[in-house]
Structure 1
């Protein structure tokens, strides 16, 4: 949608914002019930729609805490075709539990990965056998009051106007940041200097009790569909077909373009359910490419949606490699962040 027609929707943004303000007030005033639990519950979320790096941050927390605690992740399970509370099996697909929970289970098979639309119900199911729960994308799920709340801001959007949907990208007003215990600006350049960090801090205006951290994306070596390292390397002579269905593919696209001079991007919306037509188009273009060295690269989230039974016969015939990512803390913030989280959970 072009910028001008979006501005025509401004009255709807005002109305939506008013509804969310009233809803938040009802939770804050106790009109709507919010449940607090007697075990540590960490929430990871953001104010706007998609693309802030919630999954990598959830995975960071899992790596930090899984060896000392009986940990479970709990997500809504966006895009799944099942309902209610469900614990992911090692063979779980995106259709069964959602692409992000399926990704968590593949990467951390020893960890309980659960989905439930009603997080209160999910926590009730999990707390008898777990002593720590991490909520993925739950900042707006006010029915639960987490013990510790982490709010993410995408670096590329920090200086955008604070406008509500549908004109802007905010799911709730910017004032909602006040509920967070820690704020993290994600996907920053590795060389982000102190001056720019201070400008961002002035824009976000964290409260006195809120710690502010900055992170960047760290890309790993290419893996196969099962998450195993391959040793496959991209160079300037490699034709790369990049397949993405995520909220913000720009950082990955820029990263791949630094490695190869020929990148063909097949870009789809976030959580896109790939069809046989989509994959056949990719396969035809790949076959027609005359480059001596060529491969297909996708994300850890996308590969979960490529595992569907109707797609596998074509997918398995293609050289599809996965580009893993991790969170990297800037300005020596990792030690302090880890200490804060461990002190809360302890």
Structure 2
């Protein structure tokens, strides 16, 4: 993979020019953005996956759902449906995509979940079908500039800050580092839970936020319990364990499990991997499978795995969360 990146390096300036020109056209008003007269919060990143957008969306849902009518709108990456689709009782993971399906499975009693690659169209249809929706959470839409969100939350991983990366194809950035200037809030994700003051200052110096930008540090909180379709166990109950992941960066989970003293084989697949029947046949010979919640949404459809398949829930923890919560609530209440 590294060799491919090196060979592709000459294309990087061209990609940078194209994405920069696109952004300038929006900045200059030549390409038009659409405003909405209700709160729209965009959660996204500059890099290609792996920064923790799903836990952040779930954090915002938990923060706001008791006081406001919330809807999530995602592209629905790798879904088999087309156009606008609102989640309903008969919907399947292949209709929505794994992350929106996860939102629907966990929060369907309290929020509306929809997908549309055209976010403008998606927001308009959401409001037409659910006029009571007060706030729309846009998942992975930082580069979707046809919508002018009222609050932009940009995520970047602690161990791979956007300022240390390159644009595609040599690096992982979807656009140049200057794009971070559009963010209202920058969240450094996947930090060690107890991050020193010196480390924080080092990160702040590296990203050099604008005066109007708030920066927060966040970490992943893993549960002690694991869940299957039928029961709940503790991590210590798991025997002859195999970890199966299809996410961009499984390192934090691997490190957590090893820190708990668990021994396991790790079968790692690419992000949003579509497990095949051949994969499932291979998994049938395993004793106990632990996976992420996102991967569980795809694998739980196979009856042969139901007695051995478990997922470990995660939540986002935010340092100085009171200030973060206040900033989000202030925006939602005043919009």
Category of TM-score, reference length = shorter chain: over 0.9
1:239 partnered with 2:240:
yes
Name the residue aligned to 2:42. 43
Normalising by structure 2, what TM-score? 0.94
Q: Which moved more, 1:179-188 or 1:321-330?
A: 321-330
Query: Pick from 200, 204, 222: which aligns with 1:201?
Result: 204
Q: Following the alignment from structure 1 to structure 2, what is the Cα–Cα distance between the partners of residues 112 and 231?
A: 30
1:124 aligns with 124
Q: Indicate how the Cα distance of structure 1 residues 187 and 335 shifts in structure 2: closer, same or farther if over 3 A, else same.
A: same
Q: Which residue of 2 aligns with 1:315?
A: 305
Q: Distance in 1 between matches of 2:155 and 2:133?
A: 26
How much is the aligned-residue C-alpha RMSD, in angstroms? Answer: 1.6
Give the equivalent residue in structure 2 for 1:281: 282
Q: Would you identify which runs of 4 or more consecutive aligned residues in structure 1 move more than 4 Å?
A: none
Judge conservation of contact 2:84–2:122 (CA < 8 Å) in 1: yes
Matched, 1:340 2:327: yes
| Cα deviation 1:56-82 (Å, max 9, x = unaligned) | 000000000011111100000001000
Q: Secondary structure at the match of 2:23?
A: helix
5+ residue gaps, structure 2, are none
Q: Deviations over 1:91-148 (max 9, x none)?
A: 4322110000000011101210000010000110122331110000000001101000
Shift of residue 257 of structure 1? Answer: 1.3
| In structure 2, distance between residues paired with 1:251 and 1:37 | 37
Q: Does the CA-based 8 Å contact 2:243-2:289 persist in structure 1?
A: yes
Structure 2 equivalent of residue 291 of structure 1: none
Q: TM-score, normalised by structure 1?
A: 0.91
1:99-114 map, 5 Å: 99-110=98-109, 111-114=111-114
> In the alignment, which residue of structure 2 is the partner of 1:155?
158
Q: 1:95 aligns to what? A: 94
Q: 1:67 to 1:343 in 2, by over 3 A?
A: same
1:223 positional shift: 3.6
Q: CA deviation at 1:162?
A: 2.8
1:297 is matched with: 290
Give the Cα separation in 2 of the matches to 1:188 and 1:93: 33
In structure 2, C-alpha distance between the alignment counterparts of 1:71 and 1:160, rounded to whole Å: 33
CA distance in 1, matches of 2:106, 2:231: 13
- How far the C-alpha of 1:220 sits from its partner, in A, is 1.1
Instruction: Tell me how far apart the structure 2 counterparts of residues 334 and 55 of structure 1 sit (CA, whole Å).
Output: 17
Summarize the alignment of residues 154-303 of structure 1 with structure 2, pairs less than 5 Å apart.
154-158=157-161, 161-226=164-229, 230-234=232-236, 238-284=239-285, 286-287=286-287, 295-303=288-296
